[in-house]
Structure 1
Amino acid sequence: MSSAPSRFEVEHLHRLMMQASADASQFDKRLLEEQKSDGLSGELRHWHDAADAIFGAVERVKTDLLRDGTPKDQIERIGDRLKELKERAKRFDVESDLDNCVQHWKSLGLEFAQVSGKNRDALVKLLESRRQNVDRVTGVLSQARKTGGMLPEKHRKVRDLQEQRDRAREKYERLRQKYLEAERDHQAAERQKQLQAQSQEHQEKKAPLPNLAALSAQAKKGPILVRLPDPKAAAQAKLPQTQAKPAVLAAKPLPPAPPKPVVAKP
């Protein structure tokens, strides 16, 4: 399998796949961190502070309001609305609480216009001083209800992180499929090489095959005749042959004896 990926290519794909997995995991962590808050707490703080300031003002002039003829149940109703606004602002659910809170703010304007006595104008003025910020927060919360209960800016950030996370996951899945395919092809190629090597070794160890073509040609010529030996020729071959005696070499004459040394007499 000449087209099969090499071990280096398989390992390279594996590294890319693991990096894509790490990227997707990182985006997951950032997304979870971003989703821990809806971004509305800062805005709701304005509602809470406004309700708390107005509630304190009403409590301070409560006795004067009663003395000037404001019904007790009306004063208590104003106090209950403000306390509920404060409590809802602490644990606000944009789906279930927004409409009720907006209704409370609207009703407070009507309630303050109906109180009696010299403190009415001061209370109305205090409410109006907070009206602009209250209306701004109301608009933000209304947008949040359309964006999954989050501050619009927060929702955009979360959506961007989700898209990045999804792209990272898709990239990981593509690389994972490529890696698995490459690993499978590489393993198949390695097995094929082993089988070829074993087959070659087996062929080398086998006895050589007969030349079938030569045997077939010989068979067409007829049977092979084998000549038996001639008995007479065999008998003659067994007779001993007379061997020529080697000639006697002539003996070489011995050299003469050396003369005796002459000894001088004294």
Structure 2
Amino acid sequence: MNEALTLLSFGDIGWGDEIAHGVLITVALAVATLPFGLTLGFFLALAKKSHEPSLRLAANIYTTLFRGLPELLTLFLVYYGLQIAILKALKFIGVNTYIEVNSFAAGMVALALVFSSYSSEAFLSAFRGIPQGQYEGGYSLGLSPGKTMRLVILPQLIRLALPALGNLWLVLLKETALVSVIGLTDIMLSSYRAARITKEPFLFFGLACLIYLALALISSMGLNRIETWSKRGETER
């Protein structure tokens, strides 16, 4: 027991600092990915319900592609493919230099692409749950389509899509573990390094399990509070 506490302690003799840094990277990556994934997913949902066939086709191809590819493969394509594309572009304009893509940025882009493809379906289902009369009511009050969307439709859309988006957030939180394969020091990579050096895999991987469960529990509590807040008008009625 004392040996385990020593290994988990902070400072030069323990791995607490590295694990804490990994937790920070994991949470930061998930939080940084979320707004991009939500925004892109929202516009994809708008494209899918558009009357323009080309927009619907492009959005459907996008979601089919990133929902069909394994998340790890998407991460590799972004991390290595983006790096190759930048190097070729620089070589084309006569600049011979080596640029390495930041692993945090690559992980954020890859996870946002995957997250947006799934969140677009959540938003699309929510759009279908809003009666056409809500749009017509906004127009009859003299609101422009943009204001109708922002003031009338969007609040209802968020409330309807929130349960599905909450589940996607929990999935995103777990999928951040994939970035360890491209060298980003998250919870998994910190735990792996500690387990490999100390020869205590059960201790550190068990700790990683507890950390992910704690993050999921905290997220679930926060999502429940947000969902209750979003339904405050229904409770009052």
**TM-score scaled by length of structure 1:** 0.25
**TM-score scaled by length of structure 2:** 0.27
Q: Which has the larger helix fraction?
A: 2
Higher relative contact order, structure no. (Cα contacts within 8 Å, ≥ 6 residues apart): 1
